[in-house]
């Protein structure tokens, strides 16, 4: 298929391009578009692995790169060595992205580094965008005026299959309520709970929130309303079991409708 002309030009301009790939639809669609625009020339995919990155996302990125014969670099961005990030302040994302983009520009300073930010992302409070600006990160979808819906449409036209329909899933640290320290063990527990529930429900909008009061399992309201009380009780028990297996024995588990950013507490 033919890419939008302005996106094609943006992706062709850099002599060498490195794309920060998280494993979600935005960054994988940007990677596929870059392959089409550049014929794979001087293109590197960069994926940061840390306790905050679900294992399923890393597997998805590796499978994507292998299938297309692309160069994939796995890096440790080092955010877990940053006490500011670990403290989980309101602007935690700034410290995360500062470490990520600092690592990528240090390792690939001869390349333009791009990310899959889309136009809709600009409407949220995203301190990570400040870090991106400070490190000169390219946002081709933003410059091409593409929304999330546009990205999904492009992903379908590029033949990305199920990737095009992936629900949004930010890093696991976003599930931890502001002010609670970001701990690898708790991130592993969150990932285990979400993985267990997705085994039951499929790729649906789902969050396991670590709150000061315990765990809140959030799912799409329409899906939740379609499930009877027995099924909801089964899912709650499944989440509690997965939590206990990863050190959450004393945590209460509740089920509630999904609310975007509900673990984020403004000052």
CB atoms within 10 A of CB 28: 27
**Strand arrangement, sheet containing 253-257:** 206-211, 214-219, 253-257
Biggest CA-to-CA distance, the chain:
58
Question: Who's near 174: CB < 8 A, 6+ residues apart?
Answer: 93, 261, 263, 264
Tell the burial category of 128 from Cβ atoms under 10 Å away from its Cβ (0-12, 13-18, 19+).
Answer: buried
Q: Active site includes 171?
A: yes
- Catalytic residue chosen out of the listed positions 29, 46, 171, 208: 171
Instruction: Give the contacts of 154 (CB within 8 A, at least 6 positions apart).
Output: 3, 4, 29, 33, 146
| Active centre residues (catalytic) | 171
């Amino acid at each position: 298929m033919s890419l939008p002309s302005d996106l094609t030009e943006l992706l062709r301009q850099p002599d060498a391009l490195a794309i920060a790939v998280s494993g979600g639809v935005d960054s994988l669609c940007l990677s596929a578009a870059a392959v089409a625009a550049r014929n794979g020339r001087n293109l590197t995919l960069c994926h940061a692995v840390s306790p905050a990155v679900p294992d399923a996302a890393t597997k998805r990125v590796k499978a994507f790169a292998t299938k297309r014969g692309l160069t994939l670099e796995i890096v440790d961005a080092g955010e877990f060595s940053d006490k500011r990030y670990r403290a989980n302040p309101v602007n935690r994302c700034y410290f995360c992205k500062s470490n990520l983009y600092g690592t990528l520009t240090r390792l690939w300073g001869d390349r333009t580094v791009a990310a899959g930010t889309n136009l809709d992302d600009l409407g949220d409070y995203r301190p990570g965008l400040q870090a991106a600006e400070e490190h000169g990160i390219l946002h081709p979808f933003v410059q091409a005026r593409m929304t999330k819906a546009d990205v999904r449409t492009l992903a379908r036209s590029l033949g990305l299959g199920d990737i095009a329909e992936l629900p949004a899933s930010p890093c696991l640290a976003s599930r931890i309520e502001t002010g609670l320290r970001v701990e690898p063990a708790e991130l592993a527990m969150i990932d285990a709970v979400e993985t267990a529930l997705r085994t039951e429900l499929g790729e649906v909008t789902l969050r396991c929130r670590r709150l000061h009061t315990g765990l809140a399992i959030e799912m799409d309201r329409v899906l939740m309303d379609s499930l009877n009380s027995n099924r909801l009780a089964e899912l709650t028990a499944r989440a509690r079991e997965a939590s206990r297996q990863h050190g959450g024995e004393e945590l209460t588990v509740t089920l509630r409708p999904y609310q975007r950013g509900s673990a984020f507490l403004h000052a």
